[in-house]
Each structure stands twice: as structure tokens, then as C-alpha cells.
Structure 1
Amino acid sequence: MIRPLLMCFVLCVVFGSSKPTERKSRVHDEEPLSHLEHDDGKNYDYDHEAFLGQEEAKTFDNLPPQESKRRLGIIVDKIDSNKDGLITEDELKVWIKNAQKRHIFNSVEHQWKDFDTNNDGRISWEEYKNVTYGSYLDDPDTNTEYNYTHMMSRDERRFRVADRNGDLIADKEEFTAFLHPEEHEHMKDIVVQETMEDIDKNGDGFIDLKEYIGDMYTSEDVEEDPEWVASERQQFSEFRDKNKDGKMDKEETLDWILPSDYDHAEAEAKHLVHESDVNKDGKLTKQEILDKYDVFVGSQVTDFGEALLRHDEF
């Protein structure tokens, strides 16, 4: 059976099956701290997920306040890396970034056994190809709506870039770079290349305004463009097309799909300190955090949460 696990396939499906006027995005943000709306006026659910991780948020749903505080106290001790009794923005930022990485780690672990067919602790290109495209390789003449030959070629190209030592056998780090290329510096060029190949319909090596908008939605029989299209046209001319030549080159595309000007973890760390720092010294004591436990964990938490599921740690 063909295993549609890679970005190129996912993008084909998502971009091809969405409603005509539905907005689509090529931007690869960091692993999101939370998919929830960040509105402290309503609740702190976003902060719970950002602080603990999306998976573990559910653990706190049924915990009474005292148990929430007890577990939070254990977590605070772990965040305090220099053991000075104070939690800084930097220590919070490191903790939150670990929560982001936890999802990626779990994703790789979940798929590892499927592809490491000989159980040698590594995944070769042949193993990956056979597991992912096995049915197609057995019967390449089968009529399908997907160009598996092209997809397999792109996958191999990306595999070779992720494979730092060139032996076409991936260890955990290399396989992680293959599955999540947007998280690795040496993979950025391949992410840009794949994106441009998808959008650059006229094959001139650039993305013009028509291609940029056309990739986001298909007008089909819609009489008028959605309101957001005008905003995106303005974004293209004012911010995407930096040299004002009417199209995006590789560098401009990189700035678009892999933005580096905003650190979500840093922003969330600053927010948590602002919400909890009673004496306004820029740091948090354990008591300040526990007094504001509803901001950090409350009745629902998120991603660094595997720790919360290991009851022996609490």
C-alpha cells in the first residue's frame, strides 16, 4: 500500500481538495505552541498547551486544584536549570521549545518501526521506498490520480539531502530532518525548491503574483475574490517581492515560507512572566507560579505533557 506520509503528497491532497475560496498557506511556522486562540480574556487554554504540550493538556481536565499545583511544583523544579529558585524568561523559553520538539520526536518514533523493516536501528532509502511505494513498485502501470514516479523522485532527493554522510541510510537525526525538513537549517533549500516547483507553473524559476495567489485558492466559478485576496496581493507587492521585480526568487520565497523574525516560544515566555511576576523583578519564584497556577496549567494543558502522564515522576 502506498503510504502518503510526505509533505509533497500532503500538499497535493490539501491544495487539491480544499474549497475553491478557502485560503491555503505555504508558511512553515515552528511547531505551533497551540492551535487554540490566544485570548486571555476568555481563558488560558492557549498558555496551558504552550507550557505543557498539547498531549498532556487533557491530563489536567479532571485534576483538582491541589493536585494541579503539586504537579506544577515538580515541573517548576525541572525548569529551574541552575537551581537558584528563580525562573527566568530564558529558562521558560527552553522549556517551551522542548514542548515543541516533543511532538516532532513522537512523530518520528511513531513512524520509525514501520520503516526500519530489518530492525537494525537505521532506515535505508530502499526500506523507505519499499514501505511507502510498495504497491506502486509492484504494479507501476496502475492508473492513479497521483504521479508516484515524480513523488518518489522528490522523496529520494530530499532523503539524499537529509543523509549527511551520503550512505543512503538514515539514523534518527537524519530521518527526523527528512520528515521535518523545515526544522533543520541544512534542509531549508530543499523546502524552498519543493515549494517553488509546486507553485511555479510557467517554469521560469520564480513565483509571480498570479502563481502566488493561484496557489492559495482556485477561483473556479466564484464571481468575486474573497476579501483576503486583496490583502495577499498587497502582502506580495509590499513584503514578499522585496526587490520589486514583480516575482519572488528563492531568497524571497525562503523569507515567506520559513519566517525567522518571530520567536513564538520567546513571546510566550515573556507573556507568562508578565502574567505572574507579582514583584515585577523580571523573574518568577516557585510561589509566584503556583499562585498563578491557572495561567500555567489550570484545568487543561498541552504538549510537554508526556511528563505528566508518567505518574512515577509525580
Structure 2
Amino acid sequence: MKMWTLSCLLCMTAVLQATFAKPTQEKRDRVHHGRDLSDHVHNDAEDFQYDHEAFLGKEEAKTFDQLTPEESKERLGKIVDRIDKDKDGFVTHSELHSWIKYTQKRYIEEDVMKHWREYDVNKDDKVSWEEYKNTTYGFYTDEEFEGVEDKNSYKAMLARDKRRFQMADQDGDQIATKKEFTAFLHPEEYEHMKNVVVQETIEDIDQNGDGFIDANEYIGDMYGSETEEEEPDWVKSERQQFIDFRDLNKDGKLDPDEVAHWILPGQVDHMDIEAKHLIYESDKDKDEKLTKEEVLGNWNMFVGSQATNYGEDLTKKHDEL
């Protein structure tokens, strides 16, 4: 297991080195957007796939796609009972928003549990820093990485992991609970971890090591050309963006506060918008809450089935003719 983990780490480092040695020709997006609820376009006139994935989560939506309409409706009815927390017979905006939030966060929980089983070596339902370090860097516990081709990169990676672990470990006992380990793996989801996200972003882009991001470093993270060809228009636009909107104090470089303003903007609550949308489209008596009958009456918006997918496929084939 240790050798496998270290091998993965070596591959990842090689990719990172290639990435930063030759900036891509494609624009890199460093902004942590509010995560959208589906990769599909939200267009109810075409299909309801966005709503299915928003309401169920991406993986569960795939399961519903394989069901008959009868099975899909039956399962949806059971979900409605779960959503109705106070058992008053209605699904309110608050209850639906909470449900969508739960389904959308489930992917994070699944990712954490996958790693949790690997790192909780002594099976005490906690992950200590030593467990994480030894599992990840096992054969190099002296932290010097002798014999590794690019040991400086590994030392930097270990230092970054340790700093992030310590920030996630809010009680400072060097042992992570599941919640703390989740913050370690997904720092962008937690307010108290945002300084780490900012610092890591600066370290990724700051080529001269001065702790700031100047205009050339900002552009170099997005675009690189080995020729002297003229920069594309979007690169010129980004240079102007740096001057007009990124460099707030106009000193020619981005400090941590300016980087935070750039990569961690106020986020749109897609879950709130989707909850309002589902209620608006299904609320027949316009009392701003849903009965089970109203949900089941518009079941194909909430969940999919073999029948709805078949209909969508027919529509697409028709359009292609």
C-alpha cells in the first residue's frame, strides 16, 4: 500500500512539474466557483437531466435512469417522506433546500470515506498526522527523501500537507476526526480553511518566491508560448483584468487579500435556486410548498426513468433528421 501510494505521488509530482514548467495554451480557472449541481445545461424545454442530478446527485440519478416509471415514482414517494422532516405532509423550501444540499455533499462524504479506510491504520475511527504521513510517504519517514529524484518537491509537498492538516485539526491534538479530515481533503468547503487555499494558490503561481503574484506570473499560470507570436485577445483581456480588477491597491502585484478576493468570490447558492425552481414548477395551488401528490404529479422533473430517457433519445434522433 505504501509503495502504491508513493508511486501515485511520484506520478502526480511529474504532472505538476510538467504543468508549471510549460503553462498550458488553455485558460486555467483558479476561481473556486459555487459548485454547480450538474454538468448538463439547465434547459427544461430540452430535458430534465439537470434537475435529476440536482435533486438526486449524479450517481443516484444514473440509478433512477435504469428504473421503470412505476419503480421511479415509488422510490420518489419514499424520498418525499424523508424530505418532509416535520411530517406535516408538505415539502417546504427549507426542507427541499436541505435535501439538495445533502445529495450534493454526498460525493464529498464518499470521497472522504474512500481515503478514510486507507489512512485509519489502527481502526480507531480517527486519522492521526503520523498515520497520514506514514501511509502517504511511508518509506521516507526521515522526511529527507534521500534517493528520490526530486526530493525538494517531496519535501515541499510534505510541508504543505502538514500545514493543511494542522489548520484542519482545530483542537490541535494532531488527530483528525472525520469532520477535520474532510476539511483537510476539501479545504475549499470550509471557512476556516480559506487562508490555506489562498496560500497554496500563491505558492503554485509565485515563481520568484516573493510571496506575491505579479502580472507576468498571473498570466504565466494561464498561458505560455515558446514562440514570440502575438498573445491571443483573451490573454490581453486577462492582463487588463489584472490591472482593473485583481490588483486592488494598484501596486503591481497580488497580496493574500487580493488573491482571496479573486479566487473566493461570493458564491451563488445553486441549491437555493434549484429548490425554488422545483417548487415553482410543481406547486399547483401556489401555496409555496409541495404535497406528495404535487411532487408525484411532476415526477419526471424530479427523477428519471427508462421511459423519460427513451423519450429524450427519440427527441434527439428526431432533431438530427
Q: TM-score, normalised by structure 2?
A: 0.82
Q: Mark the CA change 1:112 to 1:3 in structure 2 (over 3 Å): closer, same or farther.
A: farther
TM-aligned CA deviation for residue 262 of structure 1: 1.3
Matched, 1:194 2:200: yes
Q: Does 1:99 align with 2:103?
A: yes
Go from structure 1 to structure 2 and tell me whether the alpha carbon gap of 1:39 and 1:236 turns closer, same or farther (over 3 Å shift).
farther
Deviations 1:223-250 (A, max 9, x none): 3444543443454344333444443322
Structure with the higher fraction of residues in helix conformation: 2
How far, CA to CA, are the matches of 2:298 and 2:269 in structure 1? Answer: 24
Q: Which moved more, 1:146-155 or 1:240-249?
A: 240-249
Higher RCO structure (Cα 8 Å, ≥6 apart): 1
Q: 1:69 aligns with which of 56, 63, 73?
A: 73
RMSD: 2.9
Query: Is the contact between residue 38 and residue 50 of structure 2 (CA under 8 Å) also seen in structure 1?
Result: yes
Closer, same or farther: CA 247–117 of 1 in aligned 2, 3 Å: same
Q: Give the match's secondary structure for 1:86.
A: coil
Instruction: Give matches, 1:1-314, under 5 Å.
Output: 1=3, 2=6, 4=8, 12=16, 15-16=19-20, 20-137=24-141, 140-144=146-150, 147-221=153-227, 223-299=229-305
In the alignment, is the contact (CA less than 8 A) between 1:121 and 1:171 conserved in 2? yes
Report if the CA contact (8 A) 1:136-1:142 is conserved.
Answer: no
Task: Please state whether the residue corresponding to 1:87 is helix, strand or coil.
Answer: coil
Following superposition, the deviation at residue 4 of structure 1 comes to 5.0
What is the one-letter code of the residue matched to 1:208? Answer: D
Which segments of 5 or more consecutive residues in structure 2 lack a partner in the other structure?
309-321
Residue type of the partner of 1:112? W
Question: 1:28 deviation in Å?
Answer: 2.3
Shift of 1:49: 0.7
Deviation at 1:74, TM superposition (A): 1.1
Structure 2 Cα separation of the partners of residues 17 and 276 of structure 1: 52
Unaligned runs of 5+ in 1: 302-314
After TM superposition, the structure 1 stretch with the greater mean CA deviation from structure 2, 151-160 or 139-148, is: 139-148
* Contact map agreement 1:20 1:220 (CA 8 A) in 2: no
| Further displaced range: 215-224 or 110-119 | 215-224
Preserved contact between residue 276 and residue 289 of structure 1 (Cα < 8 Å):
yes
Look up the equivalent residue of 1:116 and give its one-letter code: D
Code of the aligned partner of 1:26: R
In percent, how many aligned pairs have the same letter? 57
Q: Closer, same or farther in 2 for the Cα pair 1:16/1:197, shift >3 Å?
A: closer
Structure 2 counterpart of 1:36, one-letter code:
H
CA distance in structure 1 between the aligned counterparts of 2:297 and 2:14, rounded to whole angstroms = 44
CA contact 2:61–2:304 (8 Å) conserved in 1: no
Question: C-alpha distance in 2, partners of 1:14/1:104?
Answer: 28
1:239, 1:278 → 2: CA distance? 45
1:121-152 deviation line (CA, Å, top 9, x unaligned): 22111111111112444852221487101100
Contact conserved, 2:33 with 2:267, CA < 8 A, in 1? no
Alignment CA distance shift 1:142-1:247 (3 Å): closer
Residues 138-189 of structure 1: per-residue CA shift (max 9 Å, x gap): 8522214871011001111111111112121112111111111111111111
The answer on whether the counterparts of 2:80 and 2:292 sit within 8 Å (CA) in structure 1 is yes
Write the letter of the residue equivalent to 1:286.
Answer: K
Which stretch of the first structure deviates more once superposed, 86-95 or 185-194?
86-95
Aligned partners of 1:10 and 1:35: how far apart in 2? Answer: 29
CA distance in 2, matches of 1:239, 1:279: 46
The whole-number CA distance in structure 1 between the counterparts of 2:15 and 2:189 is 17
Report if the CA contact (8 A) 1:44-1:294 is conserved: yes
Q: CA deviation at 1:261?
A: 3.6
Structure 1, residues 254-304: CA drift from partner, whole Å, max 9, x if none?
132222241111122122223223333332222222122111112389xxx
Deviates more, 1:77-86 or 1:148-157: 77-86
Matches of 1:222 and 1:282, distance apart in 2? 60
Aligned length: 299
Partner Cα distance (1:294, 1:234) in 2: 46
- Which of these two proteins has the greater Rg computed from alpha carbons? 2
